[in-house]
Amino acid sequence: MDDDNEFKNFVEDVKMQHSTFNFEYKYIFVVLLSISFFFTGSVFAQNPKVDAINKNSNGQPGAFLRMGVGARALGLSGAFSAIADDPSAAFWNPAGIDQISNFQFEFMNVDLPFDRTFNFASSVLPVGGFMTVGLSWIGLRINDIEGRSANTVEPEYFFGNSQNAFFFSLSRSIGRSFSFGGNVKFIQNNLDTDTATGLGFDAGILLHVSDRLSLALLAQDIGTDYRWKSGLTEGVPMTFRFGTAYDLADGFTLSADVNKTGGLDPSFHFGLEFRPIDAFPVRVGYFDKQISGGLGVHMPLSNHSLELNYGYTNDHILNDDIHRVSLTFSFSPSPKKSYAKPDRPYSATRKTVRKKNKKSYKGTRYVVVKATVLNVRSGPGTNFRKAGKIKKNQRLEFIKKEYNWVKVKLRNGAFGWVHYKYVDIL
Residue 408 and residue 418 in contact, taking contact as beta carbons nearer than 8 Å = yes
Q: What CA–CA distance (Å, rounded) separates 230 from 197? A: 12
Q: What CA–CA distance (Å, rounded) separates 167 from 184? A: 6
Higher pLDDT, 221 or 61: 221
Residues 310-322: what's their mean pLDDT? 82
AA letter at 32: L
Of the candidates 110, 23, 35, 12, the residue with the CA atom closest to the CA atom of residue 325: 110
Our CA angle for 176, 20, 129, nearest 5°, is 5
The pLDDT tens digits for 100-131 are: 888 999 999 998 888 889 999 999 999 877 89
Q: What CA–CA distance (Å, rounded) separates 426 from 420? A: 12
- At residue 331, the pLDDT reads 85
pLDDT-derived band at 165 (thresholds 50, 70, 90) equals very high
Residue 420 and residue 405 in contact, taking contact as beta carbons nearer than 8 Å = yes
The pLDDT tens digits for 50-81 are: 343 333 334 468 889 999 999 999 999 999 99
Enumerate residues 6+ apart whose C-beta is below 8 A from 117: 109, 110, 111, 140, 141, 142, 143
pLDDT of 171 over the 80 cut: yes
Q: What is the DSSP letter of 66?
A: G
For 190-195, the CB contacts below 8 A with 24+ separation are 190/160, 190/161, 190/162, 190/163, 191/159, 191/161, 192/147, 192/159, 192/160, 192/161, 194/228, 194/229, 194/230, 195/228, 195/229
Residue 206 and residue 227 in contact, taking contact as beta carbons nearer than 8 Å = no
Q: What is the DSSP string of 202-233?
A: EEEEEEE-SSSEEEEEEEEEET-EEEETTS-E
- 201 forms bridges with which residues in the sheet? 184, 222
Residue 80 and residue 203 in contact, taking contact as beta carbons nearer than 8 Å = no
Q: 199 φ, ψ to 5°? A: -135, 140
User: What domains are there in the chain, each with its CATH number?
Assistant: 43-331 (2.40.160.60), 348-425 (2.30.30.40)
- Greatest alpha-carbon pair distance for the chain in Å reads 95
**pTM, entire model:** 0.71
Number of Cβ within 10 Å of residue 386's Cβ equals: 19
The pLDDT tens digits for 224-266 are: 998 998 888 889 999 999 999 999 887 899 999 999 998 889 9
- At residue 333, the pLDDT reads 57
Q: What is the DSSP letter of 8?
A: H
- At residue 282, the pLDDT reads 95
| pLDDT above 70: percentage of residues in the chain | 77
pLDDT of 374 over the 60 cut: yes
Q: How far apart, in Å, are the Cα atoms of 334 and each of 101, 128, 192, 385, 400?
A: 14, 17, 49, 23, 12
The pLDDT tens digits for 130-158 are: 899 999 999 999 988 888 877 888 888 88
- At residue 309, the pLDDT reads 96
Our CA angle for 378, 383, 387, nearest 5°, is 25
Residues 13-29: what's their mean pLDDT? 46
The pLDDT tens digits for 255-265 are: 999 999 988 89
- At residue 172, the pLDDT reads 94
pLDDT of 37 over the 60 cut: no
Average pLDDT, the chain: 79
Residues 339-356: what's their mean pLDDT? 36
Residue 98 and residue 419 in contact, taking contact as beta carbons nearer than 8 Å = no
Q: What CA–CA distance (Å, rounded) separates 358 from 302? A: 38
Enumerate residues 6+ apart whose C-beta is below 8 A from 45: none
Give me the numbers of helices (H) and strands (E) for the chain, helices first please.
5, 23
